[in-house]
């Protein structure tokens, strides 16, 4: 049975899942080999900018930003920045750190129309309208590709159209940023190829074994995936940022889903223990592929299409409605943590959704709130910054099992920061995103409350 499943996945048989269009989204299976052919191109580009660039800023969301963020943290690169928030103060804080004339901006979006990325791009282009400081990563034929050509950017790197965003870590979306960090992309991809070859095996197949474990545990009611970091790598816990999106967005649909809970304790009847296997930084390439293959296997057991995201659009639509109305987004308090936590039942999970400036101080407040939630409910507690999680775990929240209790946290966004060409600024955008997601969760009958960040310390 297992050998047959492996063979059917590699032969791109859509009936492994739902028999729909899954076969068109399996380009990630061959991606390590395909990307290796372009390694010289990536390294040449990185070498061409090294003498004139002091910092790199990646403008991207979800599948375009989470792999670079994990690579940055794993290899401890301080001059590479990922901007995946629309909070105006966070954007101001980043800009204040940069010598704009010696910064390379990487605008990364598969569709080329992601509202956050396009807004960030327009904002920083106004400050540095010089194509030598810009590069795009986007799928062929996108609006972003057209924009980059018009503005004569220094480079345009194509995505692979047969790969969804969350499976794109080993494509240009992850590997160009890695090259710009000074990572040896050739070695990273060779490790990924080793894993991909191992994932062809009928026995001793690491991706298959992980996928069967994920899926069989789910069948036994253990749908919370508690991912333990590797002791060998100081920042391997950050791998969970990427794995969260892969697992949640791939499996959380049709009322089913695996709920990723990085670093949560695995003791409990609704939990399963999984681990990040890294004995060195360059094994990150292996882990990206192992978890991709495993998620595809788990999707076959859940009986869902692991390559679509049917419920992500709802929050985007709600956000657009709020912005189009011209009215001020409603982010006033609603309910309380105590009232929300009191509704918890065994098997539920709590998710803290923080639409705040993602500073270390605010992260500490969110972690304290998570500890309160854990103590009050006994449930698994997850947390994420908005709008990042809308492109990550948001699919699970709306399309997965109705077992989540959602606590949205907002702050004062401060003075408005204009977005060139838009009738709204970044402050209104992030408030609209919070209001839109809150409304989308309510529409689906989810249990949800909202507080101000100051209440998090109550």
SS3 letters across the chain = CHHHHHHHHHCCCHHHCCCCCHHHHCHHHCHHHHHHCCHHHHHHHHHHHCCCCCEEEEECCHHHCHHHHHHHHHCCCCCEEEECCCCHHHHHHHHHHCCHHHEEEEEECCCCCCHHHHHHHHHHHHHCCCHHHEEEEECCCCHHHHHHHHCCCCEEEECCCCCCHHHCCCCHHHHHHHHHCCCCHHHHHHHHHHHHHHCCCCCCCHHHHHHHHHHHHHHCCCCEEEEECCCCCCCHHHHHHHHHHHHHHHHCCCCCCCEECCCCCCCCCCEEEEECCCCCHHHHHHHHHHHHHHHHHHHHHHCCCCCCCCCCHHHHHHHHHHHHHCCCCCCCCECCHHHHHCCCCCCCEEEEEEECCCCHHHHHHHHHHHHHHHHHHCCEEEEEECCHHHHCCHHHHHHCCCCEEEEEEECCCCCCCECCCCCCEHHHHHHHHHHHHHHHHHHCCCEEEEEEHHHHHC
100/102 Cα distance (integer angstroms): 5
Residues 236 and 172 placed together within one structural domain of the fold = no
Residues 46 and 120 placed together within one structural domain of the fold = yes
Is residue 226 a part of any domain in this protein?
yes
Q: Measured between alpha carbons, how far apart are the two ends of the chain, in Å?
A: 54
- pLDDT score, position 347: 98
Task: Find the CATH number of the domain harbouring 78.
Answer: 3.40.50.10490
- pLDDT score, position 458: 64
Residues 249 and 361 placed together within one structural domain of the fold = no
Residues 393 and 342 placed together within one structural domain of the fold = yes
Residues 233 and 103 placed together within one structural domain of the fold = no
Please give the tally of structural domains in the chain.
3
Is residue 308 a part of any domain in this protein?
no
Neighbours of 105 (CB within 10 A): 25
Is residue 176 a part of any domain in this protein?
yes
Residues 70 and 151 placed together within one structural domain of the fold = yes
156/137 Cα distance (integer angstroms): 6
Of 270, 302, 334, which closes a domain?
Answer: 302
Residues 87 and 195 placed together within one structural domain of the fold = no
Is residue 123 a part of any domain in this protein?
yes
Residues 42 and 179 placed together within one structural domain of the fold = yes
Is residue 77 a part of any domain in this protein?
yes
Q: Mean pLDDT by 10-residue block, N- to C-terminus, for the chain (458 residues)?
A: 94 98 98 98 97 98 97 96 98 98 98 96 98 98 98 98 97 98 98 98 97 98 96 82 97 98 96 96 97 98 97 89 94 97 98 98 96 98 97 97 98 97 97 97 97 86
- pLDDT score, position 235: 74
Cβ-based neighbours of 163, under 8 Å, separated by 6 or more: 25, 27, 28, 31, 171
Of 150, 165, 183, which closes a domain?
Answer: 183
- pLDDT score, position 411: 97
Residues 77 and 170 placed together within one structural domain of the fold = yes
Is residue 307 a part of any domain in this protein?
no
Residues 82 and 193 placed together within one structural domain of the fold = no
Is residue 404 a part of any domain in this protein?
yes
**Contacts for 425-428: CB closer than 8 Å, 24+ residues apart:** 425/88, 426/86, 426/87, 426/88, 426/91, 426/119, 426/123, 427/87, 427/88, 428/323, 428/328, 428/329
Which domain covers residue 399, as residue numbers? 313-457
Do the Cβ atoms of 301 and 218 come closer than 8 Å? yes
360's tokens: 């270390």
- pLDDT score, position 233: 83
Is residue 245 a part of any domain in this protein?
yes
- pLDDT score, position 455: 86
Of 302, 330, 365, which closes a domain?
Answer: 302
0.85 cut: is pTM over it?
A: yes
Neighbours of 324 (CB within 10 A): 11
Residues 176 and 261 placed together within one structural domain of the fold = no
Residues 298 and 323 placed together within one structural domain of the fold = no
């Amino acid at each position: 049975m297992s050998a047959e499943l492996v063979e059917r996945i590699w032969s791109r048989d859509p009936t492994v899942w739902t028999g729909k269009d899954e076969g068109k989204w399996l380009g990630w299976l061959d991606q390590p080999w395909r990307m290796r052919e372009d390694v010289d191109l990536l390294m040449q580009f990185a070498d061409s900018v090294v003498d004139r660039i002091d910092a790199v800023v990646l403008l991207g969301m979800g599948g375009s930003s989470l792999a670079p963020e994990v690579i940055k943290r794993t290899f401890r690169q301080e001059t590479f920045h990922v901007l995946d928030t629309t909070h105006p103060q966070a954007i101001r804080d980043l800009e204040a750190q940069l010598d704009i004339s010696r910064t390379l901006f990487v605008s990364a979006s598969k569709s080329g129309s992601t509202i956050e990325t396009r807004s960030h791009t327009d904002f920083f282009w106004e400050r540095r309208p010089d194509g030598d400081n810009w590069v795009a990563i986007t799928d062929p034929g996108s609006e972003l590709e057209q924009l980059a050509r018009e503005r004569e950017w220094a480079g345009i790197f194509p995505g692979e159209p047969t790969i969804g965003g969350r499976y794109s870590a080993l494509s240009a979306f992850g590997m160009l940023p890695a090259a710009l960090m000074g990572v040896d992309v050739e070695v990273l991809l060779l490790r990924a190829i080793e894993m991909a070859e191992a994932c062809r095996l009928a026995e001793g197949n690491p991706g298959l074994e992980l996928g069967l474990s994920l899926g069989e545990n789910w069948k036994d009611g253990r749908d919370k995936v508690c991912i333990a970091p590797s002791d060998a790598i100081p920042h391997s816990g950050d791998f969970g940022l990427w794995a969260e999106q892969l697992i949640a967005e791939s499996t959380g649909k049709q009322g089913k889903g695996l709920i990723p809970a990085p670093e949560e304790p695995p003791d409990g009847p609704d939990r399963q223990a999984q681990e990040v296997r890294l004995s060195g930084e360059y094994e990150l390439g292996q882990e990206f592929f192992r978890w991709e293959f495993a998620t595809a296997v788990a999707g076959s057991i859940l009986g869902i299409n692991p390559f679509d995201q049917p419920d992500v659009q709802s929050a985007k639509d709600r956000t657009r409605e709020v912005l189009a109305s011209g009215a001020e987004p409603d982010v006033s308090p609603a309910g309380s943590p105590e009232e929300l936590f009191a509704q918890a039942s065994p098997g539920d999970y709590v998710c803290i959704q923080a639409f705040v400036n993602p500073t270390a101080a605010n992260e500490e407040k969110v972690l304290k709130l998570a500890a309160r939630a854990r103590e009050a409910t006994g449930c698994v507690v997850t947390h994420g910054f908005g709008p990042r999680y809308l492109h990550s775990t948001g699919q699970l929240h709306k399309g997965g099992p109705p077992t989540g209790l959602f606590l949205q946290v907002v702050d004062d966004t401060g003075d408005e920061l204009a977005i060139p060409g838009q009738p709204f600024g970044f402050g209104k955008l992030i408030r609209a995103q919070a209001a839109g997601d809150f409304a989308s969760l309510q529409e689906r009958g989810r249990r949800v409350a909202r507080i101000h960040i100051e209440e998090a310390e109550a």
